[in-house]
Every structure is written in C-alpha cells, then in structure tokens.
Amino acid sequence: MNTSRVQVADGVELAVDTWAPSVAGAGTAGHPGPAGSSSAREAAGTGVGPGAGGGPGAGGGTSVSPGAGGAPGAAEGPSARADRAPFLLVHGLTSNARLWDGVAQWLAAAGHPVASVDLRGHGRSAKPDGPYDVPTVADDLAALVERLGLERPVAAGQSWGGNVVLELAARHPDLVRGVVCVDGGWLEPSRAFPDWETCSRVLAPPRLVGRPRAEIEQRIRSAHPDWPEAGIQGALANFEVRPDGTVAPWLTYERHMAVLRGLWEHHPSARYRDLEVPVLLLPVDGGRVQSIESKRREVDAALVAIRSARVHWFSGDHDIHAQRPAEVAGVMHDATTDGFFA
C-alpha cells in the first residue's frame, strides 16, 4: 500500500491509499490479509446512522454469493486478471479509509487496482470549514478519479459514502462503470425525522474530545470482541492521539454536523432513475425488527427504480465491509467477472 495526497479542489487535498494488483494472484488457500476494521462511532456508543440495521431482502433484486472457496484468482491465469476493474473505496460518516483495508487487500490479491480515500474533513485529508453537501463531496471523488488516472472504477461506498458514490454516478456517469452501496446509498434522514432540529438532536455524535485513548480502545474491543486486530486498529484510526494520551476525532463536531446537514438535504431516491450504470446494493440485517422492515422497503424501492440493480443481503454490523471483508470483497469481485459491471 502507498499513501499520497491529491488536490481535488482549491485548498482541499485528499489522502489516498493505493493498492497495486497482484500479478501472480493469491496463494492456494485462504484469503490475503487481515479482516478490515470497524467504525468507532458505534463502538464508542454513538449509535448507528440513518438506515442502519437491515433485513433479509424480499424484493425484486437478484442475490449474488461471495466467490467460491479458495484464494481470489487462484484458478485463473495472469491474462484473465490483466484487465480487472479498478475499485474506489469510500468510507462513511466519521470513518476513514483504513476501514476498507481488508477488502482492499482481498481485491488487490484478486488482480484489481484499488484506491481508498479519506474524504474531506476526515482522517488524514484536508479539513476545510465547508462545504460538506453530498454533491460537493461527490465532485471531490470525480476529480480524484481523473487525477489518479483510474479507468472507470467501480465506486464502492459505505453508509453516507454509499450516498456519495451514488451521487458521483448520477453526476459523472462516464467516470465509473458501476456503484456498490454498502448499507447506505438509500439514506434519507429527511424521511425518518419530522424536521432538521429533531434529526440533528438524535444523530449528533458524542463529545469524545479529551477521552483517554485507552478508554476508547476498550470500548471498541468490548463492542466488537470477534473483530480481528486490524479492525481494532482501523477503528482507532478515526481519532487523533494527542501528546497527553487523549484523543480527538479527526472529524470535528462542527464538521460532523455539517456533513449530517448535507445528508439531510440529499435525496438519493430522486436520483435513482438518473443512474446509467449498474448498482450493487449490499444492505445489512443488524437484527432490529423495526429497522429491518424500514430498510427492506427502502432497498426494494431502490431495486424497482434503478435501471440495473441487484442486491445481496448480509447479517452483521453496519460496517460489514470491516467485519467480513473477504465476503464483501467476494461479492464485489464476482460482479466484475459475471458481467454485471461490464
């Protein structure tokens, strides 16, 4: 993995991790690398964003399964991997690029060029005062694709990042070959709350500035006892560690609320019929009945309205890409080899 900074707008540079595709493919068994990481906002008790939870899909989309057992690319020759689609991996609200590490390693081992990015205000990227509306963030990604020279990547986004990549595809259809929405992309808090004041009160993040790093780490480990060490470290990467051993979220409270306001103002359902590229929906059943029912309706509506869409349901955490990276990567990879992302 290499890390660089790319200017995408005046005064805005984004930190980008790039993963070179494996020439030889993976080994003969297993899958490469550790299994990703989690979002610290859940682990630290901030709750789950709008649209979290999930449920088994009963809608009209088709279900795809992860790649067959064994390592990615193990049964294919170099020529079969030479033109693998690039992937651009986009995190959710309060997160960072490192939550995609497990997926990125798997995809690179399967022969895909991969880039993961810290969006404006997050992680190692620039932190302008604004704007943070979804179209502006999507335009950042469009500039990034062009400046990295990515040839029509599949753009995958989680949670708020799902809305961002959906907007990217609607605004710049020639830049991407498809979109993956990981437990997001259909998020419309303006439908879930009666007004912005209620939304902002319910979804405001906790004040974690000044908490000891050891306390934050203990919360994360307690919330995700089954997660690999890479997941713990990825979640911790959401925080700056200060000289006195306390933390501050890289995304400040004020910028968090600006992003949330941008999400409030975004209406992805109004964009569904504008989409010219295929969309793979990866919703998550988080085990909460009320949320499952609501999410099923939202996902089914997207399946009906989007010209070319399919769905694969997961059971697990909102950050399923960090919890089960090999399975998520397998579904994404299969969509590039079975003709869905042509």
Domain total in the chain: 1
Specify the pTM: 0.85
Q: Quote the tokens at residue 143.
A: 């500039």
Confidence (pLDDT) at 226: 82
Asked if the model's pLDDT at residue 275 lies above 50, the reply is: yes
State how far the Cα of 178 lies from the Cα of 337, in Å rounded to an integer. Answer: 13
Residue 342 lies in a domain: no
Q: For 76-82, what is the mean pLDDT?
A: 44
Burial of 190 (0-12, 13-18, 19+ CB in 10 A): middle
pLDDT for 71 equals: 46
Distance, in Å, from the CA atom of 303 to the CA atom of 306, rounded to the nearest integer, reads 6
Q: How confident is the model at residue 36 (pLDDT cuts 50, 70, 90)?
A: very low
The answer to whether residue 41 sits within a structural domain is: yes
pLDDT in tens, 106-129: 999 999 999 999 999 999 999 999
Residue 140 falls inside a structural domain: yes
Q: What is the pLDDT of residues 195-240, one digit of tens each?
A: 999 999 999 999 999 999 999 999 999 998 887 777 788 889 999 9
Q: What is the pLDDT of residue 228?
A: 78
In this predicted structure, the answer to whether residue 282 has a pLDDT above a threshold of 90 is yes
Q: Is it true that the peptide bond before 135 is cis, omega within 30 degrees of 0?
A: no
Domain with residue 168: its CATH number is 3.40.50.1820
CA 314 to chain centre: 15
Q: Does residue 91 sit within a domain?
A: yes
Q: What is the domain range of residue 59?
A: 2-337
